[in-house]
């Protein structure tokens, strides 16, 4: 893949004795493809990259290997071509880390919704059919994954593909917390339940927090706050409650997705606007959330800046977002019977001290006490609770990709 402004690394050969097991982890959006290449013999990340604006004539392809990085603009019409562009980057004779794509043991996909198939599976016709059944529930996620998986099956026949569904981590949630009060035949026939998402991120927090706290039985509340947000209650490293439901559209307000919403408001919207149902749902999925409330932006940085300048809509957006987080946080504290740690992760959770501070404000009676200075100054993995706090407050950068890589290796070992 010519044109990359990147220096050659002297060596990427492993310094350990274990043979390399190379796993490529793929994270797809509707118009994006992000990847990381891991050597799973010691879990080193050898390379990472992304393709943005898929479908445009000028898609942006980036790659990073250690301290070296490169960028190129090219036409990437679909996700299948994006995967090929990624492999071309990794096998580039001047800059790449692979001699041939056959060195990759498998591609692990951070898949979203498999409905009746919730777990980690080798991609086959049954997996693809199960995903297609859920297209209506995850229209921005499932179709691109299906298209990319089919393209890879055709172009790399002998390369194993693994789907690690985000719903997998939440299979341990008790029935009373994952069933809707709907007719049972609907629930059973159409697989309608609170599936939960962001599973790889919450699983990573469950694993890492247990290591940091030195105990597997800790009661942890994982707050994955970003462009897409969800909160999960964790006990014994297992999910016992989460905010997202049947689809990734539900739960907390997202950057431009509505979050929890009364479906009986839809008939009124259709009547007053003249929209079709599909049009109204698309509007809720693209013009809701922080964008809808603020009327300005779905990016919380823009919203905070506008609120600081006195914009009432932006202040309302922040207030609603914080109050929804606090509402669900309270429910999870009750479900767990207390919390040993509250963990903030993802783009907002890791970087926004204002949101962290407001979420934890006034909770001293619950044993949650913030150290304001630590909250404002922390970088990376760190605590920000006061000495008097019974509940530890952490920021832990998430690593969804290493979770998918581990799951992919596990599937390969079972074959």
Residue 349 in marked binding region? yes
Classify strands 22-28 and 32-39 as parallel, antiparallel or unpaired.
Answer: antiparallel
**Both structure tokens of 292:** 């809808």
How far is the CA of 310 from the CAs of 291, 293, 314, in angstroms? 17, 15, 8
- Contact predicate 348/342, CB 8 Å: no
Classify strands 120-122 and 392-395 as parallel, antiparallel or unpaired.
Answer: unpaired
Residue 337 in marked binding region? no
Residue 150 in marked binding region? no
- Contact predicate 78/69, CB 8 Å: no
Distance from C-alpha of 99 to C-alpha of 26, rounded to nearest angstrom: 20
Residue 311 in marked binding region? no
How far is the CA of 347 from the CAs of 308, 325, 341, 344, in angstroms? 20, 15, 19, 9
Residue 34 in marked binding region? yes
Residue 116 in marked binding region? no
Residue 234 in marked binding region? no
Residue 214 in marked binding region? no
Residue 299 in marked binding region? yes
Pick from 274, 247, 42, 244: which is nearest to 141 by CA? 247
**Both structure tokens of 367:** 């044993």
Distance from C-alpha of 317 to C-alpha of 332, rounded to nearest angstrom: 23
Distance from C-alpha of 24 to C-alpha of 52, rounded to nearest angstrom: 18
Nearest-Å Rg of the Cα atoms of the chain is: 22
Residue 323 in marked binding region? no
Residue 350 in marked binding region? yes
- Which residue, chain included where needed, has tokens 């007719």? 183
- Dihedral angle sign, alpha carbons of residues 91, 96, 98, 104: negative
Distance from C-alpha of 26 to C-alpha of 400, rounded to nearest angstrom: 11
Encode burial over 346-365: b for 16+ CB neighbours within 10 A, e otherwise. Answer: bbbbbbbbbbbebbbeebee
- Contact predicate 342/231, CB 8 Å: no
**Both structure tokens of 61:** 């392809």
The binding site for Mg(2+) consists of 27, 400
The binding site for ATP consists of 34, 299-301, 347-351
The binding site consists of 27, 34, 299-301, 347-351, 400
């Amino acid at each position: 893949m010519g044109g990359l402004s990147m220096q050659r690394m002297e060596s990427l050969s492993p310094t350990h004795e274990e043979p390399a097991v190379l796993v490529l982890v793929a994270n797809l959006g509707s118009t994006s493809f992000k990847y990381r290449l891991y050597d799973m013999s010691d879990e080193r990340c050898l390379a990472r990259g992304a393709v943005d604006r898929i479908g445009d004539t000028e898609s942006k392809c980036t790659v990073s290997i250690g301290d070296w990085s490169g960028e190129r603009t090219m036409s990437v019409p679909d996700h299948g071509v994006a995967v090929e562009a990624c492999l071309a980057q990794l096998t580039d004779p001047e800059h790449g880390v692979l001699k041939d794509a056959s060195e990759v043991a498998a591609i692990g996909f951070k898949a979203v919704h498999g409905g009746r198939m919730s777990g980690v599976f080798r991609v086959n016709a049954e997996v693809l059919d199960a995903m297609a059944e859920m297209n209506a529930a995850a229209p921005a996620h499932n179709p691109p994954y299906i298209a990319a998986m089919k393209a890879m099956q055709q172009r790399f026949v002998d390369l194993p593909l693994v789907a690690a569904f985000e719903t997998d981590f939440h299979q341990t949630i008790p029935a009373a917390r994952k069933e809707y009060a709907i007719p049972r035949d609907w629930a059973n026939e159409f697989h309608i339940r609170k599936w939960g998402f962001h599973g790889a991120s919450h699983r990573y927090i469950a694993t890492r927090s247990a290591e940091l706290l030195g105990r597997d039985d800790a009661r942890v509340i994982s707050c994955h706050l970003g462009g897409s947000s969800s909160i999960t209650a964790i006990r014994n490293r297992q999910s016992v409650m989460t905010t997202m439901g049947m689809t990734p559209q539900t739960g907390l307000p997202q950057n431009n997705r509505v979050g929890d919403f009364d479906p009986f408001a839809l008939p009124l919207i259709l009547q007053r606007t003249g929209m079709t149902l599909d049009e109204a749902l698309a509007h809720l999925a693209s013009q809701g959330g922080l964008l809808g409330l603020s009327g300005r932006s779905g990016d919380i940085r823009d919203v905070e800046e506008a609120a600081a300048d006195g914009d009432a809509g932006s202040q309302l957006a922040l207030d609603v977002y914080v109050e929804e987080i606090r509402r669900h946080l309270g429910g999870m504290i009750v479900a767990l019977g207390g919390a040993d740690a509250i963990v903030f992760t993802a783009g907002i959770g890791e970087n926004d001290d204002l949101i962290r501070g407001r979420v934890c404000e006034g909770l001293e009676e619950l044993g949650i006490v913030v150290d304001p200075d630590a909250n404002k100054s922390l970088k990376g993995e760190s605590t920000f609770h006061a000495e008097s706090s019974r509940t530890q407050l952490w920021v832990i950068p998430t690593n969804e990709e290493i979770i998918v890589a581990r799951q992919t290796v596990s599937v390969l070992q079972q074959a």
